[in-house]
Every structure is written in C-alpha cells, then in structure tokens.
Amino acid sequence: MNGAAAEGEAGAGGVLRIEVLRAWPRRHRSVRLDLRPGATVADAVRDCGIALEGVAGYAVFGELATMATPLRDGDRVELLEALRMDPKEARRRRARR
C-alpha cells in the first residue's frame, strides 16, 4: 500500500476508491465506488446499491467497523450477516456425520 493510502488520503483524482462486498454461501456481490475524501462506512453503504436485509454489522478488511468509521483509499467494506449457528455447534454436528 502506498503512503497516501496508509494515511487515509485520497488517491488519484482526489477521490477514495472503495470496494463494498457482501457474500452469501455460494455467491458474492462486489461494488467499486469513488467517494469523497472524509467518507465513512455509512457513505459507502448508502451508495453501494447492495440490499441490506440481513446485514448485522460492518467490517473494513475483516476488522469490525461502525457506520462512523472513516475510510481510506483502497479500503474494502464488508457487509456482515449474523451467524446462523454457533461455530462450535456447527463443528460438533459435522463431526457426528
């Protein structure tokens, strides 16, 4: 990552290039956005056009984020779903098969 991106500065053209991603069990949707400097997760979510039904939280490169989290050039915003089952219980069920 270049120095400007590491400091949260806008990339070429004075915009933040952001990716918003939502994944389901066998598919995903990814949208690339150009946002103004100072944009937050809320701005990316609002502008992405991805359905938000079932979204339980947000992350930036796998780190939990809030709607107020500021974005940096090159960030990936992930739309997270609630766990459908406790991971330990899921492993137990798979082991019983």
10-38 per-position pLDDT tens digit: 666 789 999 999 998 899 999 999 999 99
What's the chain's average pLDDT?
Answer: 89
Residue reference for tokens 């609630």: 82
Of 4 and 88, the one with more pLDDT: 88
45 HSE (CA, 13 A, CB side): 21
Query: Tell me, what's the pLDDT at 44?
Result: 98
Task: Tell me if 29 sits within 8 A of 22, measured CB to CB.
Answer: yes
Domain regions of the chain by residue span:
3-96
**Nearest 10 degrees: CA dihedral of 33, 34, 36, 42?**
0
Parallel, antiparallel, or unpaired for β 76-81 and 16-24? parallel
Q: What is the pLDDT of residue 68?
A: 98
Tell me the backbone φ, ψ of residue 36, rounded to 5 degrees: -70, 150
Q: Does domain 3-96 have CATH number 3.20.20.60?
A: no
- Specify the pLDDT at position 8: 59
